[in-house]
Structures are given as structure tokens and as C-alpha cells.
Amino acid sequence: MTDPTLETARPYMAALADELTKAGMIRSPGWAEAFATVPRHVFVPEWYEQETNDKGITVWRRRKADTTDDDLAAVYRNTTLVTALDPDTAKQLDESAWTGVPTSSSTLPSLMAGMLEELSVQDGHRVLEVGTGTGYNTALLSARLGDRAVHSVDIDPDLVHTAERRLSKIGYTPQLATGDGQNGHPDGGPFDRIIATCSVTAIPQGWIEQTKPGAILHTDIALGIDGGLVRLTTDEEHRARGRFTRTTGRFMAARTDARAYPRPNNAPAAPEAGRRPTPVTATDIRTHYPFRLLLAFHLPQAKLVYHRDDVGALSLQLQQRDGSWARAPLTGEGAGIVTYGGALDLWQQVEAAWTWWNNADRPTQDHFEYVREPDGRASVCHTTDGRRWDLAPTS
């Protein structure tokens, strides 16, 4: 069936490809052509726009990609478009607005382009995508490599069926499967490339077993405080190693159940033990992504959350499962003061990491190499001075 909107959309598709090329995110003709020929509106016929209501609450307002120029322009923006909300937390507020936690989205096109370029695909490569979502990225891969080379898996059967229908509407029939992509796609390997658009806390064994030596794995590694995109190459011994990439971006966490969404698991906080001056402010942590990543190496069991006190002042709070915490204010009085509780002075680690990072000339994330050993142990190494951090599994 011909989509009457397709011709109207073509200039928007070409403009998006052009914008991503000018921004340096598309760097090869193959991907420029894929972005210029795959219609995003077919995969994202409706989405949720983020608003803040008069009570300061995040509201998701549904929007449809009708045939008007305004609607098409909205779909072909370089923006993440949220396409699904967790049914357990989503509450309908009016005819077209909900609150709730997003569970699927069409990824930011510039991030997608950056990741696809990092994948360094060649004609004839077989690729596994983990996190089919809308199917838009599956379609881009199919346009670049041919749909027979593309396998894609999503935990949510409804998303897989919808993506399958939309892909076939534009003539693609890649191998789609429902399941936990952390197991890879056992029936589909061996693959030359794996790209994941949901985050994992460690590189799954299945991905190693289902790829050829020399394969590239590109995924978001979630490390508690923060995480980042890694581009790893596998070797004959089943080791995978490679750097965090210059392209930055974070993805929603891989879940193991299609209908259960991760909930924050905050330990009861220990009583306040003290407060003291500190050279590291919450703004330092919030501003410098590579420093947050470094903190995640230092404190693999810690999480970073926002904390609002009784009078509304906002702080950044580090916390661990044992109830230890340390927080520094982002607003209000007290910048340069840390308050803490529990058995550990977590902030000492923050200060040690800050000193190391500044002495090392503030390395960006691509100066750190992630290594996954054949037995599953993982570590990170600073490529300049060789300092290493063992990454205990996150909880």
C-alpha cells in the first residue's frame, strides 16, 4: 500500500539526513542515504511530548503525525520521541495527557546516527539489534545492509508485532523476535555486530558466544552513578575490550520482564552523621559527565539521586545499599558543604576522584577503556596512565 504522506515527508527526511551530516553525526554516504530514505513517521505515527503542568509535575501529551507540515516537521526533528509509558504508573489526566514513566521511544536521531557510524558496518555483515522499539532503527539497518542481514529483539511482544507490521509496510522483513535481548538471539548468530538501544549492567555472555572474533559490540553500560556508550571488539579468547565513545547518550535499562519495569530501590537512609566543607560541589558533578563516569568507577555500588528538603532546596545525593549517603546542595544555601550519614564517608571518594581527574587533565570518557574478561569480570582502565578500576557487579 502506498503511503500518501510519503511524498510530503521526503523533503523532511532529506533535511534530517542533511542536518545530521552537517553536525558530523553521519559521516558516510551509506548512512546518509538510509536516513534520507527511511520514513520516521511510519514508525512514530504518535508520540508523547513532555510538558510540566502548573503543579510542576511532568506530563506526557499525546501527539499524532498527521499529514500537516507542522506534524511532519515535528517527527523529523532531531529529538527523542517517547512512544510508550509504563501502564502501571501511567495515569490519564485528560483526553490526551498522562503522567508515567516512559518505557519505549524512538531514539534521538543524532545519537542513533553516531552509534550506527561507530558500528563500522560493511556490506555482508550480519547485525543483531537489541531493543527494537518502534522499528525505525531496524529499518535504517535494513536500508543500509539489506533486511536479510538484520535481526532485532525486544522484550515487549506488542512492540515487536507493531514494528514488524510497520517494517513490512515499507518493504522490509528483517528477523524480529520477542525476548530478553540480554540473551542475544541464539537462533540468529553468529553476528558481526551487536547494537543495543537499552542499557545493560554488564556485557552478557550470550553476546560473546553469538559473535565472531573481531565483532563489534556497541551498547550503553549502566554503572550505577552514571554509565555510557562503549564500543567493544571481541577476540579469539572471548574477551571484549574498547573505549567509551565520544558520542554520548544513555538508554532505558534492559528489563527481564515485558510487563515489569525497574523501580528505584532506595535503601532507608542512615541518620545524619555530620557536615563539613568540601572543594567539590554538586554543580561540578552535574556539569562534568566524564567526572560522573569516573565516580561510577570509584563507587560501583552507589547511585546518584536528586533530593529535595522540607523547604524545597535541591541537592545531589550519593547513596549506597547499606544506607550510607552524602549530599551537596544544588540550590539554596550551603554550596561547598557536604552533609553525610552512615558507616562510610562516601564524599571522601568523590574528593579523591576529583583530585585524580584534575591532576590527569580532566580526561574525557574516550580516554577510558572497558574490558570484559572471558569469565565475565569487567574493569576499566585509563588509557594514558594505566590506572585500573575493577567493576563489581552493580545491584
| Helix locations, the chain, DSSP H | 4-22, 29-37, 40-43, 69-75, 109-118, 136-145, 157-169, 205-209, 282-287, 289-298, 346-359
Residue nearest to ligand SAM (CB): 133
Amino acid at 197: T
| Distance in Å, CB of 129 to ligand SAM, minimum | 7
User: Minimal distance in Å, beta carbon 219 to ligand SAM?
Assistant: 11
Closest CA to 330 of 311, 363, 308, 298: 308
Task: Give the integer Cα–Cα distance in Å for 79 and 63.
Answer: 14
Distance (Å, whole) CA 289 – CA 25: 20
CA 318 to chain centre: 21
Residues that bind ligand SAM (CB under 6 A): 104-107, 130-131, 133-134, 136-137, 153-156, 159, 180-182, 197-198, 251-252, 254-255
Nearer to ligand SAM, 137 or 211 (CB): 137
Shortest separation between residue 383's beta carbon and ligand SAM, angstroms: 29
Query: Would you say 364 and 384 are in contact if contact means Cβ atoms under 8 Å apart?
Result: no
Handedness of CA 178, 184, 187, 188 (dihedral sign): positive
The 10 Å Cβ neighbour count of residue 346 is 23
Decide whether 130 or 216 has the Cβ nearer to ligand SAM.
Answer: 130
CB of 305 to ligand SAM, least distance (A): 22
Q: Give 93 or 177: the residue with its C-beta nearer to ligand SAM.
A: 177
Burial 189-226 (b: 16+ CB within 10 A, else e): bebbbbbbbbbbbbbbbbbbebbeeebbbbbbbbbbbb
CA atoms of 27 and 106, how far apart (whole Å): 21
CB of 365 to ligand SAM, least distance (A): 20
Is residue 234 within 8 Å of 207, Cβ to Cβ? no
Nearer to ligand SAM, 133 or 363 (CB): 133
Q: How far apart are CA 198 and CA 253, in angstroms?
A: 5
What does the alpha-carbon distance between residue 370 and residue 378 come to, in Å, rounded to a whole number?
A: 7
Tell me whether residue 21 or residue 107 sits nearer to ligand SAM (CB atom): 107
Please report the DSSP string for 272-330 in residue order: EEEEEE-S--HHHHHH-HHHHHHHHHH-TT-EEEEEE-TT--EEEEEE-TTS-EEEEES
Rounded least distance, CB 197 to ligand SAM, Å? 4
Residue 53 beta carbon to ligand SAM: minimum distance, rounded to whole angstroms: 25
Beta carbon of residue 209, minimum distance to ligand SAM (angstroms, whole number): 17
- The secondary structure of 363-378 as a DSSP string is --GGGEEEEE-TTS-E
Give the shortest CB-152-to-ligand SAM separation in angstroms.
Answer: 8
**Residue nearer to ligand SAM on the CB measure, 130 or 167:** 130
